[in-house]
Amino acid sequence: MKFKLHTHTRRLLGDLHTPVSIYLKVRDAFPESALLESSDFHARDNSTSYVALNPIASVEVNRGAATMRFPDGSLLHEKLRDRYSITDALAGFIGHFDVEGDEKEACGLFGYTTFNCVRYTENIAVKESRNDRNDAPDMLYILYKYLIVFDHFTDRITLIELLREGEESRLHEVESLVNLRNFASFNFFTEGDEYSTITDNQFKEYVRLGRQHCLRGDVFQIVLSRRFVQHFSGDDFKVYRALRSVNPSPYLFYFDFGGYRIFGSSPETHCKIKGKAISIDPIAGTTKRTGNPVEDRKAVDFLLKDPKENAEHVMLVDLARNDISRHAHGVKVEFYKEPQFYSHVIHLVSRVSGTLDEGADPIRAFFDTFPAGTLSGAPKVRAMQLISEIEEHNRGAYGGCIGFIGLNGDLNQAITIRTFVSRNNELWYQAGAGIVSKSEEEYELQEVNSKLGALKKAIDLAASLYHV
Is residue 241 part of the annotated active site? The answer reads: no
Is residue 269 part of the annotated active site? The answer reads: no
The DSSP bridge partners found for residue 271 are: 413
DSSP-derived 3-state class of residue 426: strand
Is residue 270 part of the annotated active site? The answer reads: no
Other beta carbons within 10 angstroms of residue 424's beta carbon come to: 11
d(CA 84, CA 64): 11
Task: Report which of 312, 316, 347 is spatially closest to residue 437, judged by C-alpha positions.
Answer: 312
Is residue 398 part of the annotated active site? The answer reads: yes
Contact 264, 419 (CB under 8 A): yes
- Residue tagged active-site, from 347, 351, 395, 423: 347
DSSP-derived 3-state class of residue 24: helix
* Integer angstrom CA distances of residue 209 from 38, 196, 219, 292, 403: 38, 19, 12, 35, 33
d(CA 61, CA 68): 9
337-357 burial by CB neighbour count: b if 16+ within 10 A, else e? bebeebbbbbbbbbbbbbbbe
- Residue tagged active-site, from 399, 418, 432, 453: 418
∠ CA 354-359-365, nearest 5°, is 50
Is residue 355 part of the annotated active site? The answer reads: no
- Residue tagged active-site, from 210, 398, 419, 453: 398
Contact 107, 14 (CB under 8 A): no
Contact 116, 70 (CB under 8 A): no
Alpha-helical runs (H) found in 277-334: 293-305, 307-325
Task: Report which of 82, 126, 86, 66 is spatially closest to residue 399, judged by C-alpha positions.
Answer: 126
Active site residues: 347, 374, 398, 418, 434
